[in-house]
Amino acid sequence: MRVTVLRLGHRVERDKRVTTHVGLVARAFGASGMVLTTPDEKVVESIRRVVASWGGDFSVKVEPEWRRVIREWRGTKVHLTMYGEHVDERIDEIRAAGRDVLVVVGAEKVPAEVFQLVDYNIAIGHQPHSEVAALAVFLDRLFQGEELHREFKGRLRVVPSPRGKRVVES
């Protein structure tokens, strides 16, 4: 099961940091790629730099035609929103389907039609928080924690240590 994150409504400058974090969390928590609907070379470059150094198979692309991305997705389409059904009610069903998953996360107000275009509107609790947190929790529940044990074959690797920072280069 491959997961792609569709980042809707990115505002250049204002959302740069958060969108970069959406991409980094997507990669670190087991997604295979991110689609940005607003061109922003700086964001794309900074995610690609992390992939180049730390490895993994993660793609970033820009596709302004977000309706087409959702409509043409062959697999399960999930929109993360505080107004949706609680994640615990649907996550087993989404995983059991075994289909590739498109996860839509917003920045500013998400167009109402998104709620109709997807298969599931899923809430990570019903309080307002953040697309970064929502994505992390959703992916962790989808992969049942296994994503944090995946090996990324990159140039840099952390050697876990109880104190201090150890990074080796290969």
Helix and strand totals (H; E) in the chain? 6, 8
Nearer to ligand SAM (CB atom), residue 47 or residue 123: 123
Nearest residue to ligand SAM, scored by beta-carbon proximity: 106
Q: How many CB atoms lie within 10 A of CB 153?
A: 10
Contact 120, 22 (CB under 8 A): no
Q: What is the C-alpha separation between 135 and 145, in angstroms, rounded?
A: 13
Contact residue for ligand SAM among 109, 149, 163, 165 (CB under 6 A): 109
Residue 129 Cβ vs ligand SAM, minimum distance, rounded to whole Å: 4
Q: CB under 6 A: which stretch of 52-60, 67-75, 103-111, 142-150 binds ligand SAM?
A: 103-111
Does position 131 interact with ligand SAM (CB under 6 A)? The reply is yes
Q: Side-chain half-sphere of 27: how many Cα atoms within 13 Å?
A: 26
From 26-34, 48-56, 130-138, 152-160, give the range in contact with ligand SAM by CB under 6 A: 130-138
The count of other CB atoms within 10 Å of the CB of residue 155 is: 11
- Whether 40 and 66 have beta carbons less than 8 Å apart is answered as no
Q: Half-sphere exposure of 131 toward its Cβ, with a 13 Å CA cutoff?
A: 25
Site string for ligand SAM, 6-45 (x = CB under 6 A): ----------------------------------------
Residue 82 touches ligand SAM, criterion: CB under 6 A:
yes
How many binding residues for ligand SAM (CB under 6 A)?
Answer: 17
Q: Which residues bind ligand SAM (CB under 6 A)?
A: 80-82, 105-107, 109-110, 123-125, 127-131, 134
